[in-house]
Structure 1
Amino acid sequence: MNVALCAAALLSAANARSDDKNAQYAHRAANDVLAIGDTGPADDPNAPPQHSTVKFFDARSGELLYQLPDASGGLAGPTGIVFDDGRMIVANQNVNLPFNGEVLQYGRGVEPGTPLVSRDDPHAPLAPRGIVLVQRGNGKRLFIADMGDPNNNVNGKLLAFDVRHGKATFVADMNPKTDALGTEFRPRGLVLGPDGYLWVTLAYLPGGCGGKVVRFDPATLAYKDTVLSNSPDCANDVNHLNRPEGLAFAPNGDLFVTSFKNSTLDADIDRILILRAEDRIYRRSAPQLDFIPLDAPGQPRTSTQALVFGPGGYLYVAFLQNGEVRKYDVVTKGYWTIVPPSGKLTAPFYLSFFRTDPATLAYEGDDGRR
């Protein structure tokens, strides 16, 4: 991808038509683009994924505008995506390849796949997932959730790099190694919250249940506290927080977190958990979590790893099983299908608008949070 292609995608989006008559503030999406990482299965388990790209969709109509060529710039398993200063920054897992993951750059003034954090860096993430880029003085700080390798008992990391002039310098592994978090540390998603803290999801893997939402101080890099938690014991599922990953704050301050079904219960469902702003702000000991159901018992699953808020305060969600992308009204919990199932996406993962803030993941112009 380059600047010209970004401009072409934006122009195409501005000219696209939409049948969504009810979208409040829909005009804000008329010149924006939704980027989604897409990775398909490989026939050869020792080869990179067959499909490994980022696809760009019109934010209103869902029309596919452009996609990176497969494996562009060495892409092999894209996860976290942010946009900053005319560049797209992508966490790349290097799936089925004999080296660590990395963070790559695409766009203004760089060759596609130029490393921001090279796989050869001694502190390169093993399995990067979510990323955020936070302003810090005259530079920026990149935070990377590195899940590690659950199958081989390699613990994860929460990595911090300082970024200046397109180069990243290692700062710290923020794994606090405290009894409060236990011995297993597998960060997956992260976001800078409206309170100024870094909110991070942790999963228990390879098990099917439990997880945590915790906070870190992005200035001191210290662990602060655990906001939500659920036991890895599937029989003790108290709040349906299972293998969480993506998380985002709504314009009103409510927190939305992805959650998979309890792996031992056929009647359970995949969902997006909602921690209301009042419970979050006042730190109630037993918050009453709300949720958006993503599927129904006995029906085909539609689970998601990541989500992002977009124009008009709508929540955009991409589904692993069928490639569908939905736009949810978080008040009514109803949705529109933006990209139809079994269409342009094989196995979508992380997603971002051009106008998504790279730190807070809030949509530019819609950030009325408290």
Structure 2
Amino acid sequence: MALGLGSTGFALGQDSLYIGDGSDGSVKRFNAVTGAYLGAYVPPNTNLKLRGPMGLLFDNENLLVSNQNVDTSVTGEIFQYSLVNGQLQQTVIVKRNTPTSPAVPRGIVLWKDAFFVAEMISEPQKNATTPGRLLKYTRGGQLIGAFVPPAGTFTSGAEFHPRGVVIGPDGLLYVSNYDHLDTGLGGHVLRFNPNTGQFIDVFINSVGGGACSCTNELNRPEGLVFGPDGKLYITSFRADSSDTDKILIFQGPNGRNPGAYVDRIDLDVVGQPRAYAQALLFGPNGYLFVPITANGPDTGSVRRYDLTTKQYSNFVAPYAIGGPLQSGWYLTFGKTDPHTLTYP
């Protein structure tokens, strides 16, 4: 089907930021430097409607989107959007309700001529709790592998519920894991060989908590990305009302103590409205871009952090004061590397 672009256009040379908006099933586009809203790149209410757009990235000029089909009884799917004669063509790469479809897809990342999808839960029911899988597809959408950590990897009832995926500077696939759906505490970052799917090791293991020491407080991690400094930045949720939502920072694989906690960025203040994030990404000039998804006054904003000061400006204004995003999650720039998620 063809989707009209109107005046939004598409120019990777000037670059734009693209964010999936779960409130209306769209992918919205912004100027990568000014944050000016450029309209919906993927409009809402199409015949093949996005219901919970999650991971998205560009493979050349093709946009891949993992569609979760949230609050339905069907499985997820993978869409591709391509410009043909000035019109956006929508194609289903992995169809819903097939033996190879991801039940609840989250992050997506390319690797050579394939792509990985984090399947958080392996059945589509809204309240399902079954462990998930790391799925590998050919670029055309054929399932070629479904991977899980070996028995004995986790303790204390932890399970495999992968959410974010990224290729690290060591060439390994890093996967964030929401290991306790019942308590919401703790989390892991696991490493896999992207060529074979073989489990390598547990890079970060946290039982979770809220003492604000942060050395062991990776709660419900999702978005993860390596910064220009080689460190690993991960979204983390508060443990309780006396805690804060954060971005936790760990040494990368080339650091002196790989996987060790080194710093944090608090996203909110105890006793004040929450400002948590599900995803994050580095962009132009080394800034860290963080969409805020909490149900509060900052909801719908996209913060742009200067890592030297840990201060931010609102790159996209909150929805409450006129911003176009209501529920922005995963994001990509046109120039984001689809493997490492780094920015040129």
Q: TM-score range by the shorter chain?
A: 0.7 to 0.9
Please, what is the CA RMSD of the aligned residues? Answer: 2.6
Q: d(CA) in 1 for partners of 2:249 and 2:196?
A: 28
- 1:228 matched to 2:204: yes
2:45 aligned to which of 71, 77, 95? 71
TM-score, normalisation: structure 1 = 0.82
Q: In 2, distance between residues paired with 1:209 and 1:319? A: 20
Query: Which range moves more in the overlay, 190-199 or 248-257?
Result: 248-257
How far did 1:333 drift?
A: 0.7
TM-score, normalised via structure 2 length: 0.87
* Cα distance in 1 between the residues matched to 2:133 and 2:208: 20
CA contact (8 A) 1:307 1:350 kept: yes
Partner of 2:264: 291
- Identify if the C-alpha distance between structure 1 residues 187 and 348 changes in structure 2 by more than 3 Å, giving closer, same or farther: same
Q: What residue is the counterpart of 1:23 in the other structure?
A: none
- Contact 2:150 / 2:199 at 8 angstroms: preserved in 1? no
Instruction: Show structure 2 runs of 5+ residues with no match.
Output: none
One-letter amino acid of the counterpart of residue 239, structure 2:
N
For each residue in 1:165-214, what CA deviation from the matched residue of structure 2 results, as whole angstroms up to 9, or x when unmatched? Answer: xx221111111332113561100001000100000000021422100011
Instruction: Measure, in 2, the Cα distance between the counterparts of 1:170 and 1:249.
Output: 27
Q: How far apart are residue 282 of structure 1 and its match?
A: 4.8
CA distance in 2, matches of 1:251, 1:8: 30
Query: Residue 44 of structure 1 aligns with which residue?
Result: none
Alpha carbons of structure 1 residues 257 and 2: separation in structure 2 relative to 1, 3 Å: farther
1:84 paired with 2:59, answer yes
CA contact (8 A) 2:120 2:161 kept: yes
What letter matches 1:361 in structure 2? L
Give 2:193's match in structure 1, choosing from 196, 217, 241.
Answer: 217
Runs of 5+ unmatched residues, structure 1: 14-29, 41-50, 366-370
Given candidates 340, 353, 359, the residue that maps to 2:333 is 353
Of the three residues 123, 130, 136, the one matched with 2:100 is 123
Q: How does 1:253-272 map to 2 (within 5 A)?
A: 253-263=230-240, 266-272=241-247
Q: 2:219 aligns with which of 242, 252, 262?
A: 242
Alpha-carbon spacing, 1:186–1:6, altered in 2? closer, same or farther (3 Å)? farther
Contact 1:209–1:234 (8 Å) recurs in 2: no
What are the within-5 Å matches in structure 2 for residues 171-210 of structure 1?
171-181=144-154, 184-203=159-178, 204-210=180-186
Residue in 1 that maps onto 2:277: 304
For the pair 1:162 / 2:138, whether they are aligned, the reply is yes
Q: Could you tell me whether the CA contact under 8 Å between 1:215 and 1:227 is conserved in 2?
A: yes
The answer as to 2:7 corresponding to 1:33 is no
- Per the TM alignment, residue 74 of structure 1 is displaced from its structure 2 partner at its CA by 2.3
Distance 2:74 2:207 in 1: 33
2:109 — aligned with what?
132
* Structure 2 Cα separation of the partners of residues 3 and 96 of structure 1: 25
CA contact (8 A) 2:173 2:191 kept: yes
Retained in 2: the 8 A contact 1:74–1:113? no
More helix by share: 1
Q: Distance in 1 between matches of 2:39 and 2:63?
A: 14
* 8 Å CA contact 2:209, 2:239 repeated in 1: no
Structure 1 CA distance, aligned partners of 2:97 and 2:116?
18
Give, in angstroms, the shift of residue 4 of structure 1: 8.6
Counterparts of 1:63 and 1:159, CA distance in 2: 36
Deviation at 1:10, TM superposition (A): 4.8
Q: Percent identity?
A: 40
| Alignment partner, residue 129 of structure 2 | 153
Over 3 Å counting, the alpha-carbon distance change for 1:126 and 1:6 in structure 2 is: farther
Question: How many angstroms does 1:103 deviate by?
Answer: 0.5
CA distance in 1, matches of 2:127, 2:160: 13
CA distance in 2, matches of 1:60, 1:219: 36
Distance 2:318 2:206 in 1: 31
Post-superposition offset of 1:118: 1.1
Aligned partner (choices 11, 15, 27) of residue 54 of structure 1? 27
In structure 2, distance between residues paired with 1:284 and 1:122: 42
The alpha-carbon distance between structure 1 residues 286 and 74, as it changes in their structure 2 partners (threshold 3 A), is closer
